[in-house]
Structure 1
Amino acid sequence: MTRTEPDHSDERTADGDRSITLGLAQLEIEDGDLDGNVDRAVDAVASAAARGADLVALPELFTVGYFAFDLYARSAEPLEGETMTKIRTAASDHDVAVLAGSFVEDLAATESVETPADEGYANTTALFSADGDLELVYRKHHLFGYDSAETELLVPGERIDTANVCGVEIGVSTCYDLRFPELYRILVDHGAELVLVPSAWPYPRIEHWETLSRARAIENQCFIATINGAGTFDDATLLGRSTVYDPWGTVLASSGDEPTLVLTTIDIDDVGDVRNRFPALRDRRL
């Protein structure tokens, strides 16, 4: 496992520096263990903050487990529900921004954010600032139909937004979305410099996980951070390998398949530097 620890002693102090430390919480996720999974997530937020993280990200469906399809409806909550309240509180208590992986959202019960449907459930990610403010909501656009009940149980998202958190323009996609490059072009057109990708990616598709993530970084000349879970379920084992890629597609930090916290400091100004040195995005023909 390669892990990069933050070294704040080398950070530049000149105006314009936008170095931030990312914490990717590769959590042990147990099918249906909602209380235990959420407790581990809250602990991971505290641990990442204590070790210098400015932003900590959690995996896809860290609450109930991606493969617990029969529990989706029973575990569904609104954005204002108990689980997101715990994550929001952890963010403000520890003064760290948090990407709350994803959870099963009860769309009909959510009140605070425009929803794409009056009823049904969504695979929903929420981004909170270090003050605990809700900055961004993303509902998974591309629902996985291969050996999965996701397409039958959930409603796809419609909105694609970015938010400025920690001085960085952040976009979000979820797991299977990695296979659809047009989504990332939209995020880049919205100004995204860092895209966070909470996931529940299983064995054996290691090459797909690594190749697609690196390609999204290279073609969009932005940072990509993939946050996978850890754990074995009835028919699948998550492959972990949570990774941060820079705008050249170089791996800055990564993990194996065991539960861990990946920490690395990135300089967001590298996005502009790479785009100026190799202006491929300017050569697009739409």
Structure 2
Amino acid sequence: MENQKVTAADIEAALGEVYQPTVETVKPSRSWTWTIVGVVVLLSLGAVASLCFAWHFTKKHHDEPVRQQQSTTSTGKKPDIIHQNCLNHVAVDVYHMWARKTNKVSLSVVDVSGPQKMLTQIAKSTKAAIHLHASDRLPEKSSPRWMSDVDQSFTKGGLRLEDNSILIPHDGLYFVYSQASYKLFCKSNEEDNEEESSNIHLSYNIRWSSPTSPSKTKRFLLSGVKTMCQTKVEEQMNGHTVYDSIYLGAVFQLYKGDKLSTESNHLADIVGRSSKTFFGVFEL
């Protein structure tokens, strides 16, 4: 055999036939790109929706007082909107307490056209209740004269009217409420020549007394005050009549023999109509 020399070129050629490249260049997929873009778009839409909701909610609450003020000035009257809303909330809250305890029907079937009507309806469905009206007769020394079993007034379950006070028949949780409506004639204080008319301060209270209490003095259970005739002198040169009311209501733990009574100043200015001035208690 002839001697043959193996060169570097021959080795490269031999190895090239055995080892083949196994890694290929692959183009990047576009699916992940579109996924990221979609997520960014969704987050942007969510942020925009949140901003729109917050703007709408803020605008709604900002516009409500303006609408209430416009409705008040357009009619020339100043209804006690806050007082009426509070009274409605008290009546609704009491109804829910009563409904949960007695498993009665929902609020949707109850006539909520007026707080007094709702309270009267609840009272008639309880075990013990009383609802009194103010009499047109001369009032007591410091309180309206109350009467029962006339018009919508009634007594039930042991609660009764005694010495112009409500007598509690047994221990329990009771809702106590009352309203006094006033009709006043405002006039300017010409003697002092003041910028403002002479204010009239009204007070209306519900007092509590108990035979087991060491003190026989009637204590304040609920109290309300209000100032009337605050308009300027030039608006009432010939005087004018104003109407307003004070409402009281809350839940108390009362005991057998307790007595509840009312007290007010300006008794001669109290309107003695059944829907205007009333006093009541019902057991929860």
Quick check: which has more Rg, 1 or 2?
2
TM range (shorter): under 0.3
Greater helix fraction, Structure 1 or Structure 2: 2
TM-score by length of 1: 0.24
Q: TM-score scaled to structure 2, two decimals? A: 0.24
